[in-house]
A and B are shown apart, each in its own frame.
Chain A
Amino acid sequence: MLIPLTKISVDAIVNAANKNLSNGAGVALAIAKEAGKQYQRECDDLVKKNGKIAVSKNVVTKSHKLQKTCKHVINAVGPDWADYTDKEDALKDLALTVENVLETAVTMNMTSVAMPPISSGIFGFPKEACAWMYSKGVLDFTWKGSHGQLKEVILVDVQDSTILDMTFQYLSKISNNGATIQIKDVLKSLPKEQPLRGAEGGTARADKSERKSVKASTNTTDRLCSHTMEKGADIFNFRNSVEVLVYTADIIRLPNVDILVTPESRSFKGEGILARKIAETAGKDYTKERRKLEGQPRQSGEILITIAGNLKFQKIFHVIMSRFDDRGPPNDTQLNQFKTLIKDVIQRANDLNVKKTKLKSIAMPLLGTGHIRDQWLLTAIGGAVFDGIYRYSKSAKTSVKEIHLVNINEETTSAIRKIFLSEATEKGNLAIIDDDDESDNSCVVCMEPMDQPVALRNCGHQFCRDCILDYFSRKPSCPMCNTMYGKLYGDQPVDATANVYLDKSSLPGHEGHGTFIIDYDIPDGRQNDQHPNPGMSYRGFRRRAYLPDTEEGQTVLHLLREAFNQGLIFTIGYSRTTGKDNVLTWNDIHHKTRKEGGPQRFGYPDPEYIPRVKEELAAKGIR
């Protein structure tokens, strides 16, 4: 399930903790925040009393403020990928961590536990490795026999479902043929690690399975933006003139970048985290030069340039700006100023090159967001960075060719990646048509003669540029033929949850197979900006649906999960069943809400159902 760990209801949730239970990042931080100070105190006391917790072991604490979610927290310490020279041991320890958690749950007479992907965050396990060991831990535990009261193990992730999907695949593959998972085989199947281009101290990882190139087969010269994965970084190419690399690393340790950009407040006292780090490492010469600039207040938008001292950069750009507020969304003026600022920073480096300096690459964190963890906010700010770079890429001479967007925490990197990917698919699927190529066709969207015509990459249909961008912002498909160009996201309420159970009884027409029961739960709520009537309230509901536990049924379950994660299962609008408007309703992906009664009563048997629902899913780009 792709929901925050702290938002479900189980006997225990598992905390991906470290040896000191300091709960300073990722899942641990999220849990510590919600569970409150008393929880942290209990953790601290435990460590004081019993010492650090060994890798693969766990300790149980009370849930404190998380009482509604769970009774206990199982604080499990997974292995840190970087600590192991022999990765086989790392894998063994992770599987053991998972198994130990389940053992603890049995000892404590728990019936259900929810677990995040341990060691996948700052502990740096490759996603496949994590998914395999998740699967191995669960399988090894199930073969053992004594399961006590434990009925339900829920795997949860808040960020993206890659690991969950892999685990689901591995588990359904393996549990069908009854084999166990051999660590040696897993090790062989993992991508070889390669250091990221120039990032010594970086935690960015190569993840070859993700090296899907989104580049089109057609030439890329006229593309507005394209995306590739290489050596652990997402690389976005803007108009073939500027490359943007997005990854997680310690920015001040990058060896091969010319300029480091750091934010400063108007007092210019070097108070930010990055500014302080630079001051600590850059040395005397740097401090001296910096002193000269201090002592007077600065204007927002000013860019002060110093040498980098002992750091491996040539220059440091100190950008004067105010931090983003984490209490509310940034307003348009603020974002627009930020876009301009980003463009100005790069442009400034570009201008220096006229005077014979050669500054080709520039590195910056997501400026002014060091304290922000909210994904939505980060995404909004990341979008402004995209626009800023995009504007720069349109200028005639671009001598700065490489922009590294480097952040120390994965949350920020993932937010940037997300917004860049969505912007890139939007812009990357368009090819500009030569304006001389006078086609007297009109655009089917506005029905006017074409203005700045562009063609779509795969189907070749042509539209005005603004029309197609507008269309893509609502639905990433061709207005002519509905060819999909990206993921479709629906307006299903964000607090909707789905739970899947496997029941032993069979559905009519699928005798001999078990039944998946899907329980959807959507609380009451108010329509938001995406919905037809923002502010108006709607009634939530619970719905139960059934699928056979056959190969086909599993495939559909998998697709439904994707659809759910993309917010496509429910919508708010007109219900064709009840004839009412502004209600929560199914969104054209049919579910069997009864076990029996045949198609007329939304039940089984219905041999047409599986192919039909697959078609409906495919219509939304899910296949």
Chain B
Amino acid sequence: MANIAVQRIKREFKEVVKSDEAAKSMIHLDMGSSENMMELTGTISGPPDTPYAGGTYILDIRIPETYPFNPPKVKFNTKIWHPNISSATGAICLDILKDQWAAAMTLRTVLLSLQALLASPEPDDPQDAVVAKQFKENPDIFFQTATHWTQAYAKGSTPVPEYSDKVTQLMGMGFEEHKARVALSNNNWNVECATENLLS
């Protein structure tokens, strides 16, 4: 990796470790097993007063050779239900990770921006069209679904019993848990539609 990139990552790593946010354990950065610092793991906690509250989200961060001239490649490793994050791949739609990236930004600001994104979704520029549609048309269902996913995948502690029951119901029919949850979420928790979806 180019010298300037290594230098920067080392400095940025320290910046995150020493930051106030890290002290309050809102964000965390881990070198992981990679020795060349090309691949890092970030962690952010779900912001309070959102369906993600209480959840812990792991992010895969890849530093390109051309860093900081090009943005880091970041995606959610933890599954999440959010209009700007793909529920299937974890890919993120956030302008600063694309053309609005500026070399003045750092891993710390990226992690904080992602946390801010969790608190204020942008449904008009969606990554996941299905989630965005639900967010706009059925905000209550969206909130419950996101809460349910937080509990199921991000160690969240707020249960949504109705949804858990439905997942269990489909699992009883022989469907795999995650697939059942996705089908239900995609179909606004209508069991019939979800089943049809899974069978088609």
A residues contacting B by CB (< 8 A) are 444-448, 467, 470-471, 474-475, 477-482, 574, 576, 579, 588, 599-601, 608, 612, 616, 619-620
Q: Which residues of A contact B125 (CB under 8 A)?
A: 612
- Asked whether, in the complex, the Cβ of A447 is within 8 Å of the Cβ of B8, the reply is yes
Q: Are A619 and B99 in contact (CB under 8 A)?
A: yes
Q: Mark B86-117, 1 if CB is under 8 A from A, else 0.
A: 10110101010011101110000000000000
B4 CB contacts on chain A under 8 angstroms: 445-446, 467, 470
Tally of B interface residues using CB under 8 Å? 30
| CB proximity to A under 8 Å, residues B1-49 | 4, 7-8, 11-12
Contact (Cβ within 8 A) A576 B127: yes
Q: Measured between C-beta atoms, what is the minimum distance from B92 to chain A in Å?
A: 8
List residues of chain A with CB within 8 A of the CB of B153. Answer: none
- The answer to whether A471 and B69 touch (CB under 8 A), given A579-B86, A579-B91, A600-B133, is yes
- Known contacts A474-B70, A574-B73; is-contact A480 B99 (Cβ 8 Å): no
Which of B88, B89, B124 is in CB contact (< 8 Å) with A612? B124
Is A600 touching B8 in the complex (CB atoms < 8 A)?
Answer: no
B102 with A480: CB separation less than 8 A: yes
Question: Is the beta-carbon distance between B102 and A478 smaller than 8 angstroms?
Answer: yes
A446, A479, A574, A579: which contacts B102 (Cβ < 8 A)? A479
A474 touches B104 (CB 8 A): no
Instruction: Say if the beta carbon of B182 comes within 8 Å of chain A.
Output: no
Given A474-B66, A579-B91: A444 and B103 interface contact (C-beta under 8 Å): yes
Q: Check: B180 CB closer than 8 A to any chain A CB.
A: no
B39 CB to closest chain A CB (Å) equals 14
Bound CA span A608–B126, Å = 13
List the B side residues contacting A588 at CB < 8 Å. 98-99
Q: Do the beta carbons of A576 and B103 come within 8 Å of each other? A: no
Q: Give Cα A616–Cα B66 distance, bound, in whole angstroms.
A: 23
C-alpha spacing A478/B100, complex, angstroms: 11
8 residue pairs bridging A and B, Cβ less than 8 Å apart: A445-B68, A447-B11, A448-B7, A471-B69, A579-B86, A600-B133, A601-B129, A616-B99
List, in ascending order, chain A residues with CB within 8 A of B98's CB: 588
Within the complex, the shortest CB–CB distance from A615 to chain B, in Å, comes to: 10
Q: Nearest chain-B residue to A482 (Cβ)?
A: B102
On whether the beta carbons of B7 and A474 are closer than 8 Å, the reply is: no
Bound form: Cα–Cα A599–B99 in Å = 21
Chain B residues near A612: list those with CB within 8 A. 124-125
Q: Are B133 and A447 in contact (CB under 8 A)?
A: no
B132 interfacial contact with A, CB 8 Å: yes
Closest residue of A by beta carbon distance from B89: A579
Residues of chain A with a CB closer than 8 A to B130's CB: 600
Check if B69 sits within 8 Å of A608, measured CB to CB: no
Contact B102 A576 (CB under 8 A): no
Q: Check B69 against A474 for contact (C-beta < 8 Å).
A: yes
Q: Knowing that A574-B91, A599-B126 touch, tell me 20 more A-B residue pairs with CB under 8 angstroms.
A: A445-B68, A445-B103, A446-B8, A447-B8, A471-B103, A474-B69, A474-B70, A475-B69, A479-B103, A479-B104, A480-B102, A481-B102, A574-B73, A576-B91, A579-B86, A579-B89, A599-B124, A600-B126, A612-B125, A616-B99
Chain B residues whose C-beta falls within 8 Å of the C-beta of A477 in the assembled complex: 102
Say how far B8's CB is from chain A's closest CB, in angstroms: 6
Tell me which residues from 109 to 149 in chain B have a Cβ below 8 Å from any Cβ of chain A: 124-127, 129-130, 132-133
Please name all residues of chain A whose beta carbon is closer than 8 Å to the beta carbon of B99 when the two chains form the complex: 588, 616, 619-620
Instruction: Note all chain B residues with C-beta closer than 8 A to A471.
Output: 69, 103
Across the two chains, which residue of chain A brings its CB closest to B92? A576
Cα of A36 to Cα of B105 in the assembled complex, Å: 55
A447 and B133 CA atoms in complex are apart in Å by: 42
Whether A447 and B127, one on each chain, are in contact in the complex, defined by CB atoms closer than 8 angstroms, is no
In the complex, chain A residues whose CB is within 8 Å of the CB of B127:
576
- CB of B153, distance to nearest CB on chain A (Å): 18
Q: Which residue of chain A has the shortest Cβ distance to B64 in the bound complex?
A: A532
Known contacts A445-B68, A447-B11, A579-B91, A608 near B102 by CB under 8 Å: no
Please give, as numbers and ranges, the residues of chain A lying within 8 Å of B100 by CB-CB distance.
482, 619
B181 CB, nearest partner CB in chain A, Å = 19
Q: Which residue of A lies closest to B88 (CB)?
A: A579
User: For A600, what are the chain B residues with a Cβ–Cβ distance below 8 Å?
Assistant: 126, 129-130, 132-133
* Cα distance, A499 to B34, chains bound together (Å): 47
The 5 closest A-B pairs by CB, nearest first: A479-B103, A579-B89, A444-B104, A576-B91, A480-B104
Minimum Cβ distance to chain B for residue A543 (Å):
18
Give the residues in chain A near B69, CB-CB below 8 Å: 470-471, 474-475
Q: Which of B73, B103, B132 has the largest count of A CB atoms less than 10 A from its CB?
A: B103
B-chain residues with CB within 8 Å of residue A482 when the two chains form the complex = 100, 102
Taken residue by residue from 140 to 179, chain B's Cβ proximity to chain A (1 for < 8 Å, 0 otherwise) reads as 0000000000000000000000000000000000000000
What sequence of 0s and 1s flags, for each residue 59-80 of chain B, a beta carbon within 8 Å of any chain A beta carbon? 0000000101110010000000
Distance in angstroms between the alpha carbons of A600 and B70 in the assembled complex: 29
Query: In the complex, what distance in Å separates the CA atom of A444 from the CA atom of B12?
Result: 11
Give the docked Cα–Cα distance between A601 and B130 (Å).
10
Nearest-CB residue, chain B, relative to A448: B7
Q: Bound state CA distance, A445 and B7, in angstroms? A: 10
What is the bound-complex CA distance between A448 and B10, given in angstroms?
12
- State the CA gap A156–B106 with chains docked (Å): 44
Query: When chains A and B are docked, how far (Å) is the Cα of A475 from the Cα of B109?
Result: 21
Looking at the assembled complex, report how far the CB atom of A25 sits from the nearest CB atom of chain B, in whole angstroms. 41
Complex: chain B residue closest to A608, CB-CB: B124
Cβ contacts under 8 Å, B11 to chain A = 447
A588 and B95 alpha carbons, distance in the complex (Å): 9
A496–chain B nearest beta-carbon distance, Å: 19
Q: For the complex, give the distance between the alpha carbons of A462 and B125 in Å.
A: 33
Q: How far is the CA of A576 from the CA of B128 in the complex (A)?
A: 10
Closest to B95 in A: A619
Question: Is the beta-carbon distance between A576 and B8 smaller than 8 angstroms?
Answer: no
Inter-chain CA distance A477–B70, complex, in Å, is 12
Chain A residues near B68: list those with CB within 8 A. 445, 479
